[in-house]
Amino acid sequence: MLRKRIIPSLLLERGRLVKTERFRKPKYVGDPINAVKIFNEKEVDELFLLDIGASREGKKPDFKLLEQIATEAFMPVCYGGGVRSPDDVQTLLKLGIEKVAINTAALRRISFLGELRDRFGAQCVVGVVDVKKRLLGGNAVHSQAGVDVPQKDPVRWAQRLVEAGAGEILLQSVDRDGTLLGLDSDLLRTFDGLLDVPLVAAGGASGVEDMRAAFRACRLSGIAVGARFVYQGPHRAVLISYLSAAELASLH
């Protein structure tokens, strides 16, 4: 049986560690280097690091900060945000980043993924699909950067990303982000068995039972978790945490 990946997902904004709710109102929650050190101690297998302001503000990745993070991290890191050229990706890989998540750049020009695949291999290219519920029902691909979306259907857009060169898909629910209300199992069921690459779900993960339900709803490769590993208790005190060994074992 393949290992079910539970991946901490950290958000950056202007070099700070933040957490959002429904992709809005980023709240400062600490220093990213300190968070990485804690996840090292907890022997986390993998880490997602997403700069939420880079593409929206037209900025390049903060290579200096990312070099510090990659040097500190004992686990593979996937980075996304502000990546616009193969040279950006080459720089990230040289710094020690293992995978690069592409969202806005693919919405603007999907052939960009093919360029990355041909130059670096599909295994390091993660296509990101942000999904938001429609007012009249159903789901649609969402662009936080305000870019025109060429394909509104989330499954079809994910399939196009894979065809174009993505070796993995990160599926993010905008409506569940930071809410701790549970992953959107209905959304996940629409993806079950329809992609030929690993699928990672994000948005709303709260506890082990919820994660288990998500794995039942869809043949996921993993779940990316934000708020659950950043906040503690009903008042959302900031405390970096991870699942215990027993909790991880219970998912298999």
What digits encode the pLDDT tens for the residues 152-198? 999 999 999 999 999 999 999 999 999 999 999 999 999 999 999 99
Residue-level pLDDT at 93: 98
- For residue 123 the two structure tokens come to 């295994």
**Domains of the chain, start order:** 5-250 (3.20.20.70)
Q: Evaluate whether 224 touches 48 at the Cβ level (below 8 Å).
A: yes
Above 50 in pLDDT, residue 1?
no
Q: Evaluate whether 235 touches 205 at the Cβ level (below 8 Å).
A: no
- For residue 205 the two structure tokens come to 């993960």
Which residue of the set 51, 130, 177, 184 is catalytic? 130
Q: Residue 149 — very low, low, confident or very high, per pLDDT cuts 50/70/90?
A: very high
Number of H helices, E strands in the chain: 9, 13
Report residue 57: phi and psi, to 5°: -95, 0
Highest mean pLDDT among 47-56, 132-141, 158-167: 158-167
Q: Residue 2 — very low, low, confident or very high, per pLDDT cuts 50/70/90?
A: low
Please state whether the predicted TM-score (pTM) of the whole model is above 0.95: yes
Of residues 218 and 1, more confidently modeled = 218
Residue-level pLDDT at 195: 97
Cα 213 from Cα 16, distance rounded (Å): 32
What residues contact 149, with CB distance under 8 A and at least 6 apart? 107, 140, 141, 142, 143, 157
Q: To the nearest whole number, what is the mean pLDDT of the chain?
A: 96
Among 88, 181, 85, CA closest to 133? 181
Strands 5-13 and 16-21, sheet pairing: antiparallel
**Catalytic residue check, 130:** yes
Q: Residue 25 — very low, low, confident or very high, per pLDDT cuts 50/70/90?
A: very high
Kindly report, residue by residue over 231-247, the tens digit of the pLDDT: 998 889 999 999 999 99
